[in-house]
Amino acid sequence: GENVEQHPSTLSVQEGDSAVIKCTYSDSASNYFPWYKQELGKRPQLIIDIRSNVGEKKDQRIAVTLNKTAKHFSLHITETQPEDSAVYFCAARDGSGNTGKLIFGQGTTLQVKP
């Protein structure tokens, strides 16, 4: 089955700097890679996703890149703001069958210092 590894587990940046979170996956059949943001005490919410037929996707200050050959994908946040502080989870859709099952990484706690 699919396995997703996420790094780093914690990340601290100064406001205005960029933040990068990286994930690797094991199943070459996986074709969908979402990123979720979870603020303290809240539910995970989708912030951006990418499908395997695309190498990069951008939405304002957030971008995601995908390298299918190396089986890794990354989240890039530019011009970070204190409200970006949260736990970020990457996920990969299980490639076995058309089920919609997601395998999540362990999460990255991002702290943006004012």
Partner 1 sequence: DAGVIQSPRHEVTEMGQEVTLRCKPISGHNSLFWYRQTMMRGLELLIYFNNNVPIDDSGMPEDRFSAKMPNASFSTLKIQPSEPRDSAVYFCASSFPMAGPRYNEQFFGPGTRLTVL
Instruction: Give contact residues for partner 1 (rule: CB under 8 A).
Output: 32, 34, 42-46, 49, 89, 93, 98-107
Going across the sheet that includes 19-25, the strands are 4-7, 19-25, 72-77, 62-67, 56-59
Residue 55 CB, nearest approach to partner 1 (Å): 18
Task: Name which of 41 and 114 has its Cβ closer to partner 1.
Answer: 41
Residue 92 CB, nearest approach to partner 1 (Å): 11
Task: Name which of 84 and 105 has its Cβ closer to partner 1.
Answer: 105
DSSP state letters, 43-112: --EEEEEEETT-SEEEETTEEEEEETTTTEEEEEE-S--GGG-EEEEEEEE--SSS---EEE---EEEEE
Residue 25: HSE in the Cβ half-sphere, 13 Å Cα cutoff: 29
Residue 37 CB, nearest approach to partner 1 (Å): 11
Which one-letter amino acid corresponds to residue 90?
Answer: C
Task: Name which of 81 and 106 has its Cβ closer to partner 1.
Answer: 106
Residue 82 CB, nearest approach to partner 1 (Å): 23
Task: Name which of 38 and 78 has its Cβ closer to partner 1.
Answer: 38
